[in-house]
Structure 1
Amino acid sequence: MPARAPAFWRRRGAIAWLLSPLSLLFGMLARLRRRRTRGERLPVPVIVVGNIAVGGSGKTPVVQWLISRLRAAGYSPGIVSRGHGGTVTGVAQVPADGDPAVYGDEPVLLASSCACPLVVGRDRPAAARELLRLHPGCDVIVSDDGMQHYRLGRAMEIAVVDPATLGNGMLLPAGPLREPLGRLGEVDLVIAHGDLSPALAVALKEVPSYPMALAGGLLRSLDDPSRTVPVVQLAGRAVHAVAGIGRPERFFEQLEALGLDPIRHPFPDHHVFAPEDLSFEDGAPILMTSKDAVKCRAFAPDDCWEFPVEAQIGSGAAERILEKLKNGRTTA
């Protein structure tokens, strides 16, 4: 659930039920738009990594994991992304050292960590066409988010689900869902960050699901990225934990599980950080996510550290994705 999400999104109380007629209208319009939208087919397969809820579910680490698996299997992948939080009005390729204020924080992180071509644009088909124009050797495209962007045809849909973000299970504006839970029964694969609820298990029907965990062991200095220390070195110490992601609680809880004592500083997703956001007088180390580090590196104070994580996904997920990709099934 996003840090600034309305409280009534968490349970089906009076406010949620009062808004339920608007949710019904939202759902009807969403279904109508999906039925009437014909996806543009591209000369290479497109894999969409998305979700059905507002807020973060862990898509970025999944995209990083997927790119590494595709490359290991001999593919030459590229990425398209909306570029949320950036200022690009058309389409643009993102350099590995790009400015997050221009291209968006997640695209810059992906461009630097995945070392593959990435193009941003609100018009995802246009971004995909530009990617192929600039990199004709690209043979598979991964769409970072965009499950509801139906103008982009896709060969495969991977839904990343964090049950904690599903809230009361109602559609916007009564709840946090952009599509009903039943939509998960239509995707190719579900990657779940957390235990599946009974309602979620029913929604998945015959769709295979795989568990995901985010793991990390090192801290990387924002001042000198070549300098790393084991995160357990700070066990038992108070640290300032800064997180401007979809669900900051996940970051804080992970630090606690590693034995640290985080002083929590949650910010909205895609927050534009300023030096004063990192100004603390007690001298304790400052820890932040990789997504936040790309925005803070230019002005971060001393003793400021990035905590990079990797997605650990259940056995068999990569093989299933590669098999479906090989079979070449496409949907518009």
Structure 2
Amino acid sequence: MDLFDALADKAMAEEPPTRDEALAVLATSDDDLLDLVAAGFRVRRHFFGRRVKLNFLVNIKSGLCPEDCGYCSQRVGSKAEVLKYTWLSPEEAVSTAGVGVAAGARRVCLVASGRGPTDRDVDRVSTTISKIKDSHPDVEVCACLGLLTDGQADKLCQAGADAYNHNLNTSDATYASICSTHTYNDRVQTVERAKHAGLSPCSGLIAGMGESDEDLVDVAFALRELSPDSIPVNFLIPFQGTPLAKEWNLTPQRCLRILAMVRFVCPSAELRIGGGREIHLRSMQALALHLANSIFLGDYLTSEGQAGRDDLQMIRDAGFVVEGGEAETSQHDGRPDLVRVRRRGAGTTEAANA
């Protein structure tokens, strides 16, 4: 407990732990887990009070990706049963985003599969961003389009984008074991380009891919060096049909330790619980809010999340408040996040965030 208190004091002074201290957090016993969470909560409360920021994903292009990221259901050669469709029209994206905003989301994340956008793609997404901003001027828009080339981040910023997401995912040392079609340094470069253009950098990690404690600490310190404003911590969803389908090695306790470690290493960053929280944290989701101050509301890119109404109830029950205040959700029949859009010319109804 003396270690945890010391880590909390250092974090509130924005002083990082040592590598050994970060590793010690990941090695915490179950008997000391609640003391660890309590120390992490001191840091979370210091920087963010009891606010929880809600984020909403809009999958504007799904599947058909040429990259071979082993964790991804949309990778080349994936046999996972996910929806595959090309770009949503700006009108479809605005309509979908509006459902998340009505449910209380403060940030809309526009995500497209693929290695990275062409300049024409950037123009297309810029139109979508502008239209969302026209409809919801107070909502942040974050783009996540893959690797960026020179000038593309500037165009997104000019269109009104507030942030750009590109995760490091794992340590530099092990990145090649999960992907061969691009490098860890490619990802770092994209985050730097977003920062240089004036976009708020958003970059995080995926836990549960078979990495070591050392890998997790390495990527946490790499993120601290990049200094993103927000850090999504995702927990691997082992999709059938992907190389990591058998990697079921996370427990709720392990997830809490990872969140606590990242909170101590990057104390003032918005820490977001990302994909996989429902299946790995399970009944401890509310406890994780004592460490993280941000979540995705409802569904993810290719997997269904917890019902939006249940997310809001969980936040209230845990004694936290939604940043910006909660919006009325009853008009969405109890499931504001189960977004379905009719694809232009497809003749079928598909889930944009399934």
Q: Could you state the TM-score of these two structures normalised by the residue count of structure 1? A: 0.31
Q: Could you state the TM-score of these two structures normalised by the residue count of structure 2? A: 0.30
Q: Which has the higher helix share?
A: 2
